[in-house]
Amino acid sequence: MSNRFDDKVVLITGAGSGLGRASALQVAKEGANLSLIDLNEEALEETKSKVLEVAPNAEVLLMTADVSDEKAVEQYVNETVEKLGKIDGFFNNAGIEGKQNLTEDFGSEEFQKVVNINLNGVFYGMKYVLKVMKDQGFGSIVNTASVGGIRGVGNQSGYAASKHGVVGLTKNSGIEYGQYGVSVKAIAPGAILTPMVEGSLKQMDPDNWEEVGKQFVEPNPMKRFGKPAEVGYLVAFLLSNEANFINATVIPIDGGQSYKY
């Protein structure tokens, strides 16, 4: 049985942990060669060794870069094409939450930092990868938005603004590039137990964060956190040829919570 990603190249940002790592593992299991980007070199190495455990034959390119640095983005996109030949799928995923605060108390520098990574970084990635995919005549981009990109969540001005921006970019570019055989979509994860969400719970209560977590998922129809692997399955499907006609839209993965009155 052939895999969905045999002979395909997938580029992933924020690949050192969380959703990036989970998605890397999933597409690698299905035959993909990978170009993995993260700020944290050690975390990238760890992702690579986990990938090679599940997919010993995968070709894995690692690059340490800051997604909010346009030159660095251009460089890792070019290098991916030079070394791996093309980009079939791009999981444009790197992001941070920022420090929680009411809007009036939300630091302007903090706001700038979150927007630089979560929105500018996603834009730069799309800018350079879309050019490659347009020239190829195929490709699929999955951007990481958030339920904070389709709803207000509170105490997260920078995050909410940047993730709503990701949704806007997704819809706009999907409409522009569909004619070139390229699809662009976003996922809107809810509470998925990643290191970032764990950090968020620790901001709320460093000592009892697990208890806070239980209260946090109480309103969820499924009464639990999502698992990174569950997002990995969705990302793999959306990056595959099977999902090419899904375009310019956002897929929530949140146990149903964002639809609850």
Residue 149 lies in a domain: yes
Check residue 261 and give its pLDDT.
Answer: 85
Range of the domain at 205: 193-225
Q: In whole numbers, what is the pLDDT of the chain averaged over residues?
A: 97
Contact (CB, 8 A) for 165 and 186 = no
Active-site entry in 76, 128, 159, 177: 159
DSSP 257: G
Same domain, 22 and 97: yes
Same domain, 139 and 156: yes
The band of 1, judged by pLDDT with boundaries at 50, 70 and 90, is low
Residues with Cβ < 8 Å from 260, sequence gap 6 or more? 219, 221
Per-residue pLDDT at 123 exceeds 70? yes
Check residue 159 and give its pLDDT.
Answer: 97
Same domain, 170 and 242: yes
Residue 261 lies in a domain: no
Check residue 226 and give its pLDDT.
Answer: 97
Per-residue pLDDT at 2 exceeds 80? no
Same domain, 141 and 42: yes
Same domain, 78 and 143: yes
Q: Is 76 a catalytic residue?
A: no
Per-residue pLDDT at 217 exceeds 80? yes
Give the CA-trace dihedral at 87, 160, 26, 22, to 10 degrees: 120
What secondary structure does DSSP assign to 146-213, as a single string? -GGGTS--SSBHHHHHHHHHHHHHHHHHHHHHGGGTEEEEEEEE-SB--HHHHHHHHHH-SSSHHHHH
User: Into how many domains does the chain fold?
Assistant: 2
What is the pTM assigned to this prediction? 0.96
Please state the rounded mean pLDDT for residues 72-84: 98
